């Protein structure tokens, strides 16, 4: 057994049937040409016969589950691989649509706390011949960025490499990916862990850490944001809907270059245009501009006051999405302006101030699952848009070419929609996860994202 820090345990405490706290990923593969009919079955069988299992994939909360016993981790010796590694198939007509429906169901189901907190679902039989894999891992074990990093480690740049191991069969790296390190993680939830870790090991978020964070924010004279209420910012149910699509990075880059903005600005402008169209169709667009919370990586001032030097840090900024503006080009301008100002503000802070400020913005989310804690006044922002780094080159798993790497993140009370994207070679893979009840027809956002990009291309393509 090992001690579970409160910054891990909070994801177990906060979890309920309405608020599963796992992060997922959906990968698509084009199988090698020499694929036999039993390729998937054999792979699943092999995957279930691993002698060595990485400690991360053996970790579960010590019993009794659900009480203060959660503050200890235990490590299972025997793994019930038939349970964790699941072989599935798609119903007719076996399109991506059926795959997304299945992913939605899987992501809405809680992990069993009596076992190590992960599942892998191998899916055979897309009509176009592709294979898919959906994985989920509890957020108390790993954040989204590190989950993706582990996935990438299991892949190879060499199409002829047939020695690839599934993530659970790989030994940890020297610098273990199990521990979310402050400067590396760009996942918004990682921030909350980070505040706990910053300063000293005894500074925890619950409740002392937050008090410290609140004081730091006050001392630095920072104001916390607020956004209009929308259908995206109420209570959520337990069911999910997932949508995913890839866009060529070059299209986005061209717009960014001609308009003098960044790739992230253009992505936010796509999101802004899509949300505007989506909410307008339902007569639910607020008069005030909506905003997005965006985790960012920052180059720090050298000689920082508490880290003893420059380097990188992670923060969260809230960007004005300008959804009140009917013109796409104007929205992009306002987004770029808001994003620059916020980054400037953040880069003037010390790493500890950045973490505290970012965590305070996140804080209402953490209270979400606690009944009565949130009165649902104005949310701090309307949507989370997160961009996580994926592989730069073509990647393969035992000859199968990676053809999609879609993050499946977390929604919670007050934030019923999360858009997380991942770069993959020439593509940006968008993963949209929403509460099935409060975000109806989520898949329409995909069409609207494309329309918003096309509109920007008319001005700056």
Q: Is 85 helix (H, G, I), strand (E, B) or coil?
A: strand
Q: Is 457 in the site for a second copy (CB under 8 A)?
A: no
Q: Is 83 in the site for a second copy (CB under 8 A)?
A: yes
Contact in structure between 230 and 382 (CB atoms under 8 Å): yes
Torsion of CA 124, 395, 314, 4, to 10 degrees: 50
Tell me which of 71, 81, 87, 447 binds a second copy, using CB under 8 A. 87
Angle at 136 between CA 420 and CA 209, to 5 degrees: 70
Q: Is 412 helix (H, G, I), strand (E, B) or coil?
A: strand
Q: Is 214 in the site for a second copy (CB under 8 A)?
A: no
Q: Is 80 in the site for a second copy (CB under 8 A)?
A: yes
Q: Is 128 in the site for a second copy (CB under 8 A)?
A: no
Which backbone phi and psi does 218 adopt, to 5 degrees?
Answer: -65, -50
Residue (37 or 326) nearer to a second copy, CB: 37
Contact in structure between 25 and 134 (CB atoms under 8 Å): yes
Q: Is 458 in the site for a second copy (CB under 8 A)?
A: no
**Candidates 87-95, 206-214, 322-330, 425-433; binding stretch for a second copy (CB under 8 A):** 87-95
**Candidates 92-100, 220-228, 253-261, 325-333; binding stretch for a second copy (CB under 8 A):** 92-100
Tell me which of 1, 68, 91, 375 binds a second copy, using CB under 8 A. 91
Asked, as a colleague might, if the bond just before 286 is cis with ω within 30 of 0, I would say: no
Instruction: In angstroms, give the least distance from the CB of 238 to a second copy.
Output: 4
Q: Is 45 in the site for a second copy (CB under 8 A)?
A: no
Q: What is the end-to-end Cα distance of the chain in Å, rounded?
A: 56
Tell me which of 1, 3, 33, 93 binds a second copy, using CB under 8 A. 93
> Cα–Cα distance between 37 and 334 in angstroms, integer?
53
**Candidates 178-186, 234-242, 344-352, 382-390; binding stretch for a second copy (CB under 8 A):** 234-242
Tell me the number of residues near a second copy by CB under 8 A: 41
> Cα–Cα distance between 285 and 288 in angstroms, integer?
9
| Burial degree of 322 (CB within 10 A; 0-12, 13-18, 19+) | buried
Residue (43 or 395) nearer to a second copy, CB: 43
Tell me which of 2, 41, 161, 258 binds a second copy, using CB under 8 A. 41
Q: Is 419 helix (H, G, I), strand (E, B) or coil?
A: strand
**Candidates 143-151, 237-245, 344-352, 395-403; binding stretch for a second copy (CB under 8 A):** 237-245
**Candidates 204-212, 233-241, 285-293, 375-383; binding stretch for a second copy (CB under 8 A):** 233-241
Tell me which of 95, 105, 211, 218 binds a second copy, using CB under 8 A. 105
Residue (107 or 184) nearer to a second copy, CB: 107
Q: Is 239 in the site for a second copy (CB under 8 A)?
A: yes
Residues 86-93: contacts with CB under 8 Å, at least 24 apart: 86/119, 86/120, 86/121, 86/122, 87/40, 87/41, 87/44, 87/121, 87/122, 87/124, 88/121, 88/122, 88/123, 88/124, 89/123, 89/124, 89/125, 90/123, 90/124, 90/125, 90/126, 93/127
Residues 349-353: contacts with CB under 8 Å, at least 24 apart: 349/220, 349/315, 350/304, 350/305, 350/306, 350/307, 351/182, 351/198, 351/300, 351/304, 351/306, 351/307, 351/313, 352/198, 352/199, 352/216, 352/306, 353/216, 353/217, 353/220, 353/222
Q: Is 25 in the site for a second copy (CB under 8 A)?
A: no
Tell me which of 48, 86, 401, 444 binds a second copy, using CB under 8 A. 86
Q: Is 61 in the site for a second copy (CB under 8 A)?
A: no
Tell me which of 95, 114, 162, 211 binds a second copy, using CB under 8 A. 114
The one-character DSSP state at 125 is -
Angle at 151 between CA 106 and CA 22, to 5 degrees: 35
**Per-residue contact string for residues 344-373; x = within reach of a second copy by CB under 8 A:** ---------------------------x--
> Cα–Cα distance between 120 and 134 in angstroms, integer?
6
84 labelled catalytic: no
Spot the catalytic one: 19, 22, 139, 448: 139
Q: Between residue 428 and residue 447, which ones bind a second copy under the rule CB under 8 A?
A: 436-437
Instruction: Transcribe 287-301 into DSSP letters.
Output: SSPPEEEEEEEEEEP
Residue (340 or 444) nearer to a second copy, CB: 444
Q: Is 110 in the site for a second copy (CB under 8 A)?
A: yes
Instruction: In angstroms, give the least distance from the CB of 114 to a second copy.
Output: 3
Q: Is 374 in the site for a second copy (CB under 8 A)?
A: no
Q: Is 124 in the site for a second copy (CB under 8 A)?
A: yes
Query: Residues with catalytic annotation?
Result: 139
Residues that bind a second copy (CB under 8 A): 16-18, 37-38, 40-41, 64-67, 80, 82-83, 86-94, 98, 101, 105, 108-110, 112-115, 124-125, 237-239, 371, 436-437
């Amino acid at each position: 057994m090992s001690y579970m820090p409160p910054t891990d345990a909070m994801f177990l405490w906060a979890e309920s049937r309405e608020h599963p706290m796992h992060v997922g990923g959906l990968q698509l593969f084009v199988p090698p040409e020499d694929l036999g009919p039993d390729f998937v079955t054999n792979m699943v069988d092999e995957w279930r016969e691993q002698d060595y299992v990485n400690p991360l994939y053996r970790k579960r909360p010590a019993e009794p589950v659900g009480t203060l016993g959660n503050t200890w981790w235990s490590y299972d010796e025997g793994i019930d691989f038939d349970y964790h590694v699941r072989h599935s198939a798609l119903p007719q007509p076996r399109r991506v649509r059926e795959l997304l429906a299945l992913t939605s169901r899987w992501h809405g189901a809680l992990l069993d706390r009596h076992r190590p907190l992960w599942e892998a679902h191998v899916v055979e039989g897309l009509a176009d011949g592709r294979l898919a894999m959906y994985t989920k891992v509890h957020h108390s074990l790993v954040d989204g960025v590190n989950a993706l990093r582990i996935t990438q480690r299991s892949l190879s740049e060499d199409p002829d490499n047939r020695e690839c191991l599934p993530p659970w069969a790989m030994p940890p790296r020297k610098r273990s990916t199990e521990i979310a390190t402050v400067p590396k993680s760009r996942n918004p939830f990682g921030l909350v862990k980070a505040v706990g870790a910053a300063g000293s090991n005894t500074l925890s978020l619950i409740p002392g850490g937050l008090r410290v964070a609140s004081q730091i924010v006050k001392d630095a004279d920072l104001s916390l944001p607020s956004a209009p209420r929308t259908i995206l910012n109420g209570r959520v149910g337990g069911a999910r809907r997932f949508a995913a699509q890839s866009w060529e990075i070059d299209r986005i880059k061209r717009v960014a270059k001609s308009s003098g903005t960044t790739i992230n600005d253009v992505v936010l402008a796509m999101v802004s245009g899509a949300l505007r169209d989506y909410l307008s169709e339902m007569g639910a667009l607020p008069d005030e501009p909506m905003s997005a919370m965006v985790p960012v990586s920052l180059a720090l001032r050298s000689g920082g006051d508490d880290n003893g030097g420059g380097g990188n840090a992670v923060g969260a900024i809230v960007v004005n999405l300008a959804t009140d503006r009917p013109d796409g080009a104007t929205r992009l301008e306002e987004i770029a302006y808001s994003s620059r100002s916020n980054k400037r503000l953040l880069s003037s802070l010390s790493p500890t101030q950045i973490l505290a400020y970012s965590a305070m913005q996140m804080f209402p989310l953490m209270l979400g699952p606690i009944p009565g804690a949130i009165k649902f006044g104005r949310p701090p922002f309307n949507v989370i848009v997160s961009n996580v780094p994926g592989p730069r080159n073509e990647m393969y798993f035992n000859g199968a070419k990676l053809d999609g790497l879609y993050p499946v993140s977390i929604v919670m009370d007050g934030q019923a929609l999360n858009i997380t994207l991942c770069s993959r070679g020439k593509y940006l893979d968008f993963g949209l996860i929403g509460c099935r009840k409060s975000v109806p027809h989520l898949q329409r956002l995909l069409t609207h994202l494309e329309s918003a990009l096309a509109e920007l291309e008319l001005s700056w393509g």
